[in-house]
């Protein structure tokens, strides 16, 4: 049954408090900064008869909540929206764009009549329910790793490889389809690396990540906050999500370590980069670290090119790249920070400099920061959905 909606005062779904935005990123749209005449104008722009029927799977999680924020922020058109989650969350009321919606328990029948289903409920749920949604004619945009490396499933960053999903459209479709959202670290890295790759062709990329709590979900974010309070109060920190103290510490990413010594997160970056760039020969190595930051990832990226690329040209390229903002003030020692990009759409890049270990302008070092929940997950998925319209 369709989620019931009742008229209610307008409520923007904002689960986390955002730091005050910097003027340097003022061109980035965020939900708190959009100028809107009234709540009713938002409903008129988004809720309309000619829009697609949406479903949000995992709506009570960190990314699920961000789906709602981004849908509202970007005035995504929809004629109906189903809020779906596990039986534990079923029956909860979620306010969205002036209406209250009742969370429904997820099941195959949840996708009857749905055009676009946004999934962020983990790989096992995606593997079970993704095909069920496709069978019922829905186009699934999946945020898990379940289908990313399937050869027939497009793995898409809209600013990077939109052609991979060019054959999938809502209009005139005869059946459902699956589109995969890449890993958050891959998205943030390739948003900055791809414009440079197009110009000079990357032959090798070395990445070190500094990954936020949000990548492990809302419970991890809550535990980081709890641990911080406990440590400051001289108490033993609560370690439920991670096996060790997270506050005032950092450690190797909590993904499983494979026989080759890389963890699963690192291998995702290797494999996904090759698929997105459509280049099996690209050399990629990564070291992924979990750091006590709330919701934005940082990455140190070393690039080796086939053709020379000097830092001034690289800076110009990045300044013109969609979804990228350059923060590279050497005089003031001001560069991207996770805090500054939190709740922002754009990926920030700085520390743009020639790699002194490589001759002939064949190497660059850059430092990249991006909001893990937003561009690293929800925003990218909804940008994919926008291309379906």
The active-site residue out of 197, 253, 297, 369 is 297
Query: Does residue 204 sit in the same domain as residue 60?
Result: no
Whether residues 86 and 150 fall in one domain: yes
pTM over 0.85: yes
CA distances from 49 to 45, 46, 52 (A): 11, 10, 8
Q: For position 9, what pLDDT does the model report?
A: 34
Say yes or no: 333 and 383 in one domain: no
Q: Are residues 110 and 205 in the same domain?
A: no
Same domain? For 168 and 212 the reply is no
How many domains are there within the chain?
Answer: 2
Q: What is the CATH number of the domain that holds 115?
A: 3.40.50.720
Question: Which CATH number goes with the domain that contains 269?
Answer: 3.30.360.10
pLDDT of res. 31: 30
Q: What is the pLDDT of residue 3?
A: 44
Angle between helix 264-276 and helix 184-200 axes, rounded to 10 deg? 40
Domain containing 144 equals 53-182+378-388
151 and 232 together in one domain: no
Of 184, 189, 288, 369, the active-site residue reads 184
- Reply yes or no on whether 199 is catalytic: no
CA-wise closest residue to 271 among 145, 141, 128:
145
How confident is the model at residue 45, as a pLDDT? Answer: 56
Check residue 2 and give its pLDDT.
Answer: 44
Annotated catalytic, 297?
yes
Could you tell me if 59 and 130 lie in one domain?
Answer: yes
| Ordered per-residue pLDDT tens for the chain, 389 residues | 444 443 333 332 333 333 333 333 333 333 333 333 333 334 445 888 889 999 999 999 989 999 999 999 999 999 999 999 999 999 999 999 999 999 999 999 999 999 999 999 999 999 999 999 999 999 999 999 999 999 999 999 999 999 999 999 988 888 999 999 999 999 999 999 999 999 999 999 999 999 999 999 889 999 999 999 999 999 999 999 999 999 999 999 999 999 999 999 999 999 999 999 999 999 999 999 999 999 999 999 999 999 999 999 999 999 999 999 999 999 999 999 999 999 999 999 999 999 999 999 999 999 999 999 999 999 999 999 999 99
How many angstroms separate the CA atoms of 312 and 318, rounded? 10
Q: Which of 201, 370, 204, 211 is nearest to 302 (CA)?
A: 204
Distance, first Cα to last Cα, the chain = 25
- From the list 67, 129, 124, the residue with the least C-alpha distance to 373 is 67
Give the per-residue pLDDT at 43. Answer: 44
């Amino acid at each position: 049954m369709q989620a019931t909606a009742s008229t209610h005062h307008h409520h923007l779904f904002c689960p986390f408090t955002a730091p005050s935005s910097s003027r340097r990123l003022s061109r980035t749209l965020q939900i708190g900064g959009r100028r809107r005449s009234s709540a009713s104008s938002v409903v008129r722009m988004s809720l309309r008869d000619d829009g697609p029927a949406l479903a949000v799977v995992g709506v009570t999680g960190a990314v699920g909540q961000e789906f709602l924020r981004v849908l509202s922020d970007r005035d995504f058109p929809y004629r109906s929206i189903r809020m779906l989650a596990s039986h534990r969350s079923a029956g909860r009321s979620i306010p969205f764009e002036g209406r209250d919606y009742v969370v429904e328990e997820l099941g195959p029948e949840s996708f009857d009549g749905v055009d676009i289903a946004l999934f962020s409920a983990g790989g096992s749920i995606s593997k079970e329910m993704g095909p069920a949604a496709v069978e019922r004619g829905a186009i699934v945009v999946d945020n898990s790793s379940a289908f990313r490396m399937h050869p027939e499933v497009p793995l898409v960053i809209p600013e990077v490889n939109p052609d991979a999903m060019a054959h999938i459209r809502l209009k005139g479709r005869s059946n459902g389809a699956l589109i995969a959202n890449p890993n958050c670290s891959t998205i943030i890295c390739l948003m900055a690396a791809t414009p440079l790759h197009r110009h000079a062709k990357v032959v090798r990329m070395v990445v070190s990540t500094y990954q936020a709590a949000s990548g492990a979900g809302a419970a991890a974010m809550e535990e980081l906050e709890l641990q911080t309070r406990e440590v400051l109060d001289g108490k033993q920190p609560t370690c439920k999500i991670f096996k060790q103290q997270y506050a005032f510490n950092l450690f190797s990413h909590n993904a499983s370590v494979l026989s080759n010594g890389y963890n699963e997160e690192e291998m995702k970056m290797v494999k996904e980069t090759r698929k997105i760039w459509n280049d099996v020969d690209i050399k990629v190595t990564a070291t992924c670290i979990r750091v006590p930051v709330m919701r934005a990832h940082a990455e140190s990226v070393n690039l080796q090119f086939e053709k020379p690329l000097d830092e001034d040209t690289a800076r110009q390229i990045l300044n013109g790249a969609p979804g990228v903002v350059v923060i590279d003030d050497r005089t003031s020692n001001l560069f991207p920070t996770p805090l500054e990009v939190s709740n922002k759409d754009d990926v920030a890049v700085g520390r743009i400099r020639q790699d002194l270990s490589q001759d002939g302008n064949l190497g660059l070092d850059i430092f990249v920061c991006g909001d893990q929940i937003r561009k690293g997950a929800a925003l990218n998925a909804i940008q994919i959905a926008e291309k379906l319209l």
